[in-house]
Amino acid sequence: AEGSEEKFTLESLVINTGRSMLTSTANFQQPDIFEQSLELSPLSWRDLVLYADGFPLREDLKVSLNANGTFDELNVGLQLTATGADNLEISAGLSMSDQFSLTKLKIEANNLNLPTLTGMEDWPAFKTIHFDGEGDVPFDDPGKAIFSGELMAEAIRLEPYDLDRVSSTFTILEGNAELDLHLWHQQEEVFAEASISNFFGDQPIWNANVRTENFNLATWLKDEALDSNLNLKFNIDGTGIDTDEFSANILAEIAGTRFGSQPFSEIRFQGNLDPVNISGLLTGRLEQSEIYTEFNAVNWMNEPNYNFEMVLTAFNVAELEGFEYFPTYLNGSLKGEGRSFDLESMYMIAEMSFDSSIVNNEMIDTFRADLKIENSYIFLDEGLLQSPIADASFSLQQHLTDILNAENRMQFVAEIKDLYPLRPLFDVGELEAQGQVNGRLARNSEGVLQFDGGFSLDNIRVDTLFSSQRLNGSVLALIKEEPEFVASIELTEPAVFNTAVQDVQFNAEAVFRDHETTGNLNFTLTNGDESSIFHSGNFIMDSTRVVLNTTDLTFSSQVKTLALIEPFTLSYSEEIFRMDTLSISSGDDDTYLKLWIPHLDSLRQEVGIDARNLNLGELQEAIFDEIMIDGMLSGYIEIENSPDNLKASATGQLNFFRFEQGIMDSLRFDAEIADEWFKAELNAWQDGNSLIEGQIQVPFLPGDPLTFVDQFFEREVAGQVLLHRSALEYWFGFLPDGAPEQTAGNLSLEVNLSGVAGSPELKGTLSITEGQFSGISIDRIGMEIDYSHDAGTVDFTGNVVKDQKSILGFDVSLPFLVDLRQAEILLPSDDDSIYVNFRTDDFDLALLNSYVDPEILRSIAGRLEGNVTLSGTMANLETSGQMQLSRGTMRVIPAAITLAETSADILFEPDKITLRQFTTRSGPGRLSGTGSVDVTNLEPGNIHFEMSANQFRAMNTQEYNFLINMQSQLDGTISEPRLKGNLTFLTGLVNLQNFGDRAVETVVLEEEQETEPFEFFEALAMEMNIDFGRQFLVRSRQYLDMEFFLTGNVDLLKQKDEDLQMFGTLEGIRGFARPLGRNFDLDEAVIAFYGPLDDPQVNIRTRYEPPQAAGVRIYYIIDGTMQDPGFRFESEPELELQDIVSYTIFGKPFYELESWEQVVAGSGGTPTAADVALDVLLDRVEMLASQRLGIDVVQIDNTRSGSSNTTSIKTGWYLNQRTFFAILNEVGGARPKTLFMLEYLLMENLELIITQGDDSREGVDLRWRLDY
């Protein structure tokens, strides 16, 4: 170093610590010119730690520091490289003339990995950083700072999160500042901006907002559970930054389409915040449902006091993901107040209340509870639920952090009434149970928390999965460090998957420890006093194994008892199931069952069973409610299977075998797989005669046949099945539905297997002789099968012989190959040839009567004659031949018509099937038609049919009766058929069902299945013109007595894959309606179809003119739609409803009626017949009057005899269960009469009647029937 008065120079300075080296030069020249450089290469991080303990650095640095310029303009630079920092450059401009200030600052960095450089794993890493700013920042007066700049960074990583890019600009102007910030990640962007003014003043003013669109939290936070699509807006503004003096306004809005898979519309928060108070309103909206939450807090930074209220209004749970089929509208609130947010010092009281809520169409009358938090406990008091689903009361006292706290309490009682509305929650179609559930948690006598619960339920049903007539049970649990559990359950008449099971009693005890659970398990299945199965044992479970040790297993019946010889163990560990030998036996060893499973997993199976005189029926009866297979089994079966070896042997006999209604004396079987052979025999006897003989011997090896040597496939195969001549109806006994009616015969069967494994041959013969089908005698039915491996075909031939004449025959030849060498079955391909011939000669269709659904067709008759052949390759099949039907007859049950004199002639050609002639008769007329279908390889193409009907009876049921003329044409293709034509109803009758009943609901039976759509009809396009003649009658007798004759013209239209629609208008020409027992003649009637076939617009106007009141006309009007009709009265002149009813029933105005007549017609301010007249028309006067007027019985009867026209009205009251008092008034005649009757029930069907009046009916009677 050297120096003078004007200049000082440091030529070189070197410091070496052994790990770090510093070199420096400097030059200073008056008055203020300065130049300096310093280099640390390297700078050991260990040296820095010696002087700055905890300094975040874990890599050696190479640092270069330089400065040059004057005090007015001094430039300072820093360059740094290290592992974790490829290049870091910092340059700054300083001024020290008037005051020390920063004039510019620039930072550049590449591949800056702060976790590597500093060892701080929670610090970020950057690919690039760029910061550039300039201005004037006085260090001793920052309030006058003026500075602006920008920041850019790319590939930011902060485990486990990352950003693609960050961009920001800022401006600082004498205490005011503005900032904007952009964040990018995977094409998503977040924008933020903030500003502050008067930062160094007493009350700075500031605001900030953040916004983004289509924001996915899962993308930014690396959590697929947060998958979402959100639009965010967040704004906060306020004054002051001191925690003792500030205020802020907050508005946050989250909109978008979904969070996860949950759709929603908006979440919004708006609130205010200052050092003392905080308040806000939080709202959430899904689609239509909304939740409002309002809260206020005082002194929230220290010991807060607060209040809150959450309100749900018609909140539809079906808008929540997973509850789409659970429409539930909740109306309720949670309202409360409290102090402190710390659990130990918190005090809060709240009230939860839901009322007028609807759970899947069921009203919840009340659901409420009082809530309190105090001394670290939460209390639920006076909890109450009242609803058609269940009624319940409940209370709770629970420590917030200590689940084992001795002061914890709980109690609930619930009455289950109707669980059907809850079925969507369990994804079942049916859910039923009635009964009571209760529970109580408290300290027992030993000071341990104990839960006691019980349930008693009736008529339990969970779809077809489970049902039980009754379910009773109890639960006891000790809540402690090692919880203990005891349960007892009784099931009465249970069923699983609709299979009835015997009554079950189940008892279990368990102790839950940290690493394992141990306990005892007992159950009993009992069939009353007839039979039972009892099990007792203990178990142990942990994360690696499940072990059940059975100490007692007893099967008891009225005949004998089988008891467990010694305990056995079942275990499941490492995906292997094992069971020791289960051995139960009678005391004399005459009957026993042994079962063992040494090893069972996906690769290796070892199983064995040994039984003697085991009664399968009694065993099933002890478990199930019915016996499926009955018999006495004796036998031995053992199987050992692994990837490289298979050994199996089975021998046994089933005596007194029974299945369905079929019985068999004995069935013996023997089978063995050993020494590369499979051998088996089967024999069956009945009544001392052999029924079945069967044996087979074939080579067998486990593994892939492709790896077998050729000698394996040259081994001979042999087998035979003989079914000796036996009654056909005997074998039908083994079928669920038994033998069809009028079916009999003698059945025999022989099948033979021969050849070698590589080329087997199979031949068989089936024969039915002396047969009877649908009551018609048949000489013989025979069928032969012949499989030729060399030819690669299977041939079927058969015929039906009646009166020594073949009436039906067929020959079939199909390509078919069982290739054991390739381990495959070859089915017909496009190039393979097929031949099928079907022929009939005077075949009697009456043979089919016993085998068709009698609810659809009956009394089938006719003769079928013809010969049809199908031949060619699979890719080009062709038909040829002809089939004729003559003298055909059948009864069509759904339409209640008989099709007689039916004949048809069908021609089969290679490219077409032609209906040359078809005709049938129903009623006085006939239906006839012709047509054709183009065919290519059995695929139908273009179709063309023409049908005509003349006076044809189409339907003849109680509901419908139609006689029609028709001309129609069907064209197009099978996939796009088109029907056009004209239909005329010559006569018609439609009896309306439930017309006017507003309580009708569709009932679907359990066994009833939804009708599958008919594809041809779905594809059909239709354009039919329908003409209604003047004899088309529409009638209703059930709720409103009426009938009208209609005429008109409508169009029946249908487009492909759309619903059938009707357009047009029908008009009434004559008819009547009979409300209140009076005939109202038709004025006009219009039925207008606008699309829906079953719900046309209705406008019917009928008129009644009381004979006693000239000039008065009363109109009864029906309008609306057929499914939802409306009923009302009008009159000329205009009258009150009570006068209309009065004129209709009594023929005079209301004010002229006597008191009893006014009760019927209506008076006063109470509900009367006049008030409910329109409903009376639909649901009968007797029912509604008794409900609404407080009269037990009201009967109105209109009787006509000759010129007499009398209306009698009977009103009555029950004085007690046996005594009935009635007033009978007769009006409408020349002389009104009144009778009083007192009826007393002497016996169940014998009553004493005392009548007082002014005609011959007064006196005393005995009547042997009930009148009320």
Instruction: Specify the 3-state DSSP secondary structure of 609.
Output: strand
Domain annotation covers residue 854: yes
Question: Are residues 912 and 939 both part of a single domain?
Answer: yes
Amino acid identity of residue 789, one-letter, is H
Question: Are residues 992 and 1111 both part of a single domain?
Answer: yes
Q: What residue has token string 């790896």? A: 707
Domain annotation covers residue 943: yes
| Count of C-beta atoms within a 10 Å radius of residue 1192 | 15
Question: Are residues 141 and 210 both part of a single domain?
Answer: no
Q: Which residues of the chain have pLDDT under 50?
A: 998-1010, 1156, 1163-1189, 1199-1205, 1228-1230, 1266-1268
What is the predicted pLDDT for the residue at 1168? 42
| Residues 759, 791 contacting (CB under 8 angstroms) | no
Write down which residue in 1125, 1143, 1173 finishes a domain.
1125
Question: Are residues 1081 and 1021 both part of a single domain?
Answer: yes
Write down which residue in 274, 308, 343 finishes a domain.
274
Q: How far is residue 1197's CA from residue 1206's CA, in Å, rounded to a whole number? A: 8
CA 141 to chain centre: 72
What is the predicted pLDDT for the residue at 1158? 53
Question: Are residues 1241 and 1262 both part of a single domain?
Answer: yes
Q: Kindly report whether the global pTM for this prediction surpasses the value 0.75.
A: no
| Count of C-beta atoms within a 10 Å radius of residue 467 | 23
The beta strands (E) that lie in 1177-1232 are given as 1193-1201, 1204-1214, 1219-1227
* Overall domain count for the chain: 5
Q: How far is residue 500's CA from residue 893's CA, in Å, rounded to a whole number? A: 35
What is the predicted pLDDT for the residue at 1232? 55
Question: Are residues 165 and 223 both part of a single domain?
Answer: no
Question: Are residues 134 and 5 both part of a single domain?
Answer: yes
Q: How far is residue 336's CA from residue 1022's CA, in Å, rounded to a whole number? A: 66
Domain annotation covers residue 356: no
Using alpha carbons only, give the angle 372, 377, 382 rounded to the nearest 5 degrees: 40
Domain annotation covers residue 232: yes
Q: How far is residue 773's CA from residue 818's CA, in Å, rounded to a whole number? A: 36
| Residues 22, 44 contacting (CB under 8 angstroms) | no
Token pair of 1037, please?
Answer: 């007798």
What is the predicted pLDDT for the residue at 1007? 47
| Count of C-beta atoms within a 10 Å radius of residue 97 | 12
Q: How far is residue 1128's CA from residue 1105's CA, in Å, rounded to a whole number? A: 16
Question: Are residues 227 and 258 both part of a single domain?
Answer: yes
Q: What residue has token string 């306020």? A: 238
Whether the CA torsion 111, 116, 118, 122 is positive or negative: it is positive
| Residues 692, 669 contacting (CB under 8 angstroms) | no
What is the predicted pLDDT for the residue at 1243? 77
For 1077-1082, the CB contacts below 8 A with 24+ separation are 1077/1145, 1077/1196, 1077/1197, 1077/1198, 1077/1207, 1078/1104, 1078/1144, 1078/1145, 1078/1198, 1079/1104, 1080/1104, 1080/1114, 1080/1115, 1080/1116, 1082/1044
What is the predicted pLDDT for the residue at 1224? 78
Residue 199 belongs to domain spanning = 184-274
| Residues 227, 218 contacting (CB under 8 angstroms) | yes
What is the predicted pLDDT for the residue at 605? 93
Write down which residue in 1072, 1095, 1125 finishes a domain.
1125
What is the predicted pLDDT for the residue at 1161? 52
Domain annotation covers residue 1186: no
Nearest-10 Cα torsion for 158, 161, 164, 165: -50
Amino acid identity of residue 682, one-letter, is L
Domain annotation covers residue 728: no
Question: Are residues 204 and 85 both part of a single domain?
Answer: no
Question: Are residues 161 and 116 both part of a single domain?
Answer: yes
What is the predicted pLDDT for the residue at 53? 67
Question: Are residues 192 and 170 both part of a single domain?
Answer: no
What is the predicted pLDDT for the residue at 1167? 42
| Residues 705, 820 contacting (CB under 8 angstroms) | yes
Question: Are residues 67 and 170 both part of a single domain?
Answer: yes
Domain annotation covers residue 315: no
Domain annotation covers residue 348: no
